[in-house]
Structure 1
Amino acid sequence: MGTDMRVLRRDEWDEWYDSLIRAFGGVPEPEEERAAFRGLTQFDRSLGVWDGDACVGTAGAFRFRLTVPGGAPVSAAGVTMVSVAATHRRRGVLRSLMRRQLDDVRSWGEPLAVLTASEPAIYGRFGYGAATHHVNARIDTDRVRLTVPAGTDDVRLRYAAPVDALDACEAVYARLVSRRPGMVARNPGWERLWVLDPESGRDGASPLQCVVAERDGEVVGYARFRVKADWEPAGPKGTVVAQDVDALDPAAHAALWRFLFDVDLTSAIDIRRRPVDEPWQYLVSDIRRCSLLVRDSLHVRLVDVGAALQARTYQAPVDVVFEVEDAFCPWNAGRWRLTGDAKGASCERTEDAADLALSVRELGAAYLGGVSLAALGAAGLVRELRHGALAEAAVGFGSTVAPWLPHGF
């Protein structure tokens, strides 16, 4: 029997979502989280594969605005909720979902598709490259000290109920979005996800807490966290489990981190998904006792090479012809001349001789400025056809701040 792929209908959502949950282990989500994702689902951008009455494949694509180098927001399809039932592996279901989805993204006029991968090995064959990374850390606050910059003492901190402070916190986040490539502007409704606080999601820690940073009556930062209590014969050894720490300036950033370091009855901070260049790393007395772990985060796929490359700016002048390989989206294959600088760029088809040859996967990895084209060249993934072209392009593609995706989707 064959399968049927179709756009998701509202009356099919429960079975579609149950199929997704089963593919990711089958542990039910708290009802409030399930309800939140039902409300966020964009049905006209979601696909289901059906074998008779059974849903055996799922995929969605949120409509996002992604910050690129230069600060511009670019339309991007946030690929999400991708699954294939274990009963239907190795039948081409995933490939057919990716084929239909990228065709749809192109028809919507969105030059980028982005995702976070449960298994990074899956998506490279569809042209996605790992473009951002994040840091997880466990900081030993018994042994690590924090040095703070001038002005930190001018920042006032106060506790606030997470829901009550949500609008102020989101206003801070919105001001940060254009400052760092990889960040996404949150669509209405997304802000509620960060204050959902089911007991099943606390892993034995406290309910979610929030501290707001203020200067002259203006909110300039916030931290959302839990405290996981623990004791040993010598005394308390609790852990601060930090969920979000965002601030508009160095003093506010330092004030929030100093607070987290000093929470009573704790001796460690656990934090996940932080920028690889986050400033606290340069304020600590002993980085080795912070147990840093770097992981891939946002994977980027250029759906329209020309539109994507001219949507961002370049920190140094570039004039380079790429020979692009893209077997999965052949409309991208061929030669493209990119010219650009810090003010803008153009990218057009050309018959000129190529300077660099690479696949669309490498272009996606380098697109946000966090992965160096030169490093990809050293790995043999970018071929230099004109001497000096690789160094020129690598400098131009770089970013003064590391790209960062603050949260999954």
Structure 2
Amino acid sequence: MEYRALEESDLDRWRELEGYAFSTNPSREALSPEKLGRLRGLFVDGTQAAQLELIPLLLETGRGQIAAAGIGSVASAPESRRRGHVAALMRHSCDELRERGVPLAVLHPFKRAFYGRYGWATFMERRVYAGPPASFASFRPAAGGFHAAGPAQIADFDAIYRSALRGRFGPTVRDEGWWRDQVLTDWGGKPYSAYIWRDEGGNPRSYIIYRIKDAPGGRRLECQDIVARDPTARAQLFAFFAGHADQVAQVQFKTPADAPVNLLMPDPLDCTVEPHFMLRLVDVAAALAGYGFPKDIAGRLRIGVGDDWITEHNAVFELDLAGGRAEVRRLPADSAADISCDVRVLAQIYSRYLRPRTAAAFGMLAAASRESLDLAERAFAGLAPFSADFF
């Protein structure tokens, strides 16, 4: 087997496998050097048997930012499946990320159990709210107004986005290209409708990016991204929904798992919870060293980790916490640990999807003492993780 970056001569095979796996018709246009540089393949006897894309990301941690890679477009040849090729491809990609100093890998799975066996774990959920525009009739317009927006207003979109999602783990740090190609347009390059609400002083305080689609029961206003900096700005988004009562039968939008939208509604909206991205700690020590801890936390915490795929993680990681950072040392696996868990559980605690006390209560984490568990609880405290992006 050979793992390597793809070359121009490999792209016909890339498109073949991509189209087969995702039932699409990939463009025959030349790829940009940046895109081509992200493609990886696993070759067996000289034939491209599996492939993926490594997307460079910078994620907000709630108290800083950390490098990550999004893993997308994972595909394998139908004639060579069930032979461990995707597992080998994923392992090689993780080894590459470790060598490059990228401690986290994020993906959206076709099947969670498949990636779970390789150490990925669901690390965020999103609430999906839906209801008729009439449900929002109690929300009234405030002084100010909505203004159509697009690429020329990326700086305003980004200011709202960063302010509203401050403190959460998981939001993608969006550069201009990401806003233009991943948020304001769909994968086919078609622009979404987008509006920014500005107060009477002209300050951008909320935005909505959406498309009106045909759906069973009538047309639906489906949000791609919806963000508000404060309660007044949020109410204006709801008033915007109400203004579509004669155009759509339903609106749908997604929020962080801890957003209590129905507490604001006279009658509750339909609400479901969907699992979103999965996270893999590719390099535990680097992930912990790059994490922003609460600045008022000081102390020593030893975390015992079990990892049946990246065996270098089978160790105890000693964290000396001070000033919002951790000095991390790897100790032998038989060293005394304050808390111990599987690498998947650690990823969920790390992202603040799972509280240490909850993990202990459900038998997913062992704690040497209440004091140790309390320190872990305070060290990994924060808002629920969230990302509106998809890849």
Closer/same/farther in 2, CA of residues 146 and 398 from structure 1, 3 Å limit: farther
Residue 170 of structure 2 is aligned with which of 159, 182, 194?
Answer: 182
Deviation at 1:294, TM superposition (A): 1.2
Q: Do the aligned partners of 1:142 and 1:267 also contact (CA within 8 Å) in 2?
A: no
Q: CA deviation at 1:96?
A: 0.7
User: Quick one: distance in 2 between partners of 1:135 and 1:104?
Assistant: 34
From 345, 349, 373, the equivalent of 2:326 is 345
Residue in 2 aligned with 1:127?
Answer: 119
Cα displacement (A) at 1:244: 1.5
1:305-384 correspondence to structure 2 within 5 Å: 305-315=284-294, 317=297, 319-340=300-321, 343-350=324-331, 352-384=335-367
Return the match for 1:402 from 368, 374, 384.
384
Maintained 8 Å contact 1:131/1:299:
yes
What is the aligned counterpart of 2:208 among 223, 229, 239?
Answer: 223
Counterpart CA distance in 2 for 1:402 and 1:110 is 23
Percent of residue pairs identical: 25
Using structure 1 for the length normalisation, give the TM-score: 0.83
C-alpha displacement at 1:251, in angstroms? Answer: 1.8
Q: Does 1:298 align with 2:253?
A: no
> Relative to 1, partners in 2 of residues 1:53 and 1:177: Cα closer, same or farther, differing over 3 Å?
farther
Q: Does 1:212 align with 2:196?
A: yes
Alpha-carbon shift at residue 114 of structure 1 (Å): 1.6
Match of 2:256 among 275, 287, 298: 275
Residues 1:284 and 1:127: Cα distance change in structure 2 (over 3 Å)? same
1:219-298 matches, cutoff 5 A = 219-228=204-213, 238-265=219-246, 266-272=248-254, 274-278=255-259, 280-287=261-268, 290-298=269-277
Name 1:66's counterpart in structure 2: 59
Number of equivalent positions:
384
The 1:340/1:249 distance shift into structure 2, 3 A limit, reads: same
Q: Is the contact between residue 133 and residue 296 of structure 1 (CA under 8 Å) also seen in structure 2? A: yes
Partner Cα separation in structure 1 for residue 10 and residue 303 of structure 2: 44
Distance 1:46 1:227, change over 3 A: closer
Give the 3 Å change call, closer, same or farther, for CA 356–256 of structure 1 in structure 2. same
1:74, distance to aligned residue in structure 2 (A): 0.5
Counterpart among 156, 175, 179 of residue 191 in structure 1? 179
User: Do the aligned partners of 2:49 and 2:76 also contact (CA within 8 Å) in 1?
Assistant: yes
Cα gap change, 1:51 to 1:330, in 2 (>3 Å): closer
Q: Distance in 2 between matches of 1:386 and 1:120?
A: 33
Query: 1-side partners of 2:96 and 2:169: how far apart?
Result: 25
Q: Which whole-Å deviations, capped at 9, do the CAs of 1:380-408 have from their partners, x for residues lacking one?
A: 22122334433431343121x22101111
User: What residue number does 2:16 align with?
Assistant: 18
CA RMSD, 1 decimal = 3.0
Distance in 2 (CA, whole Å) between partners of 1:298 and 1:229 is: 27
* Distance of aligned partners of 1:121 and 1:197 in 2 relative to their CA distance in 1, 3 Å threshold: closer
Task: Name the aligned partner's letter for residue 23 of structure 1.
Answer: A
TM-score (norm 2): 0.86
- Alignment-mate amino acid for residue 60 of structure 2: T
Contact 1:40–1:189 (CA under 8 A) maintained in structure 2 = no
Q: Partner of 1:94: helix, strand, or coil? A: helix
User: Aligned AA for 2:6?
Assistant: L
Once the two structures are TM-superposed, the CA of residue 252 in structure 1 deviates from its matched residue by 1.6
- Unpaired stretches in structure 1, ≥5 consecutive residues: none
| CA–CA separation in structure 1 for the residues paired with 2:172 and 2:216 | 40
In the alignment, does 2:86 pair up with 1:94? Answer: yes
Give 1:89's aligned amino acid.
R
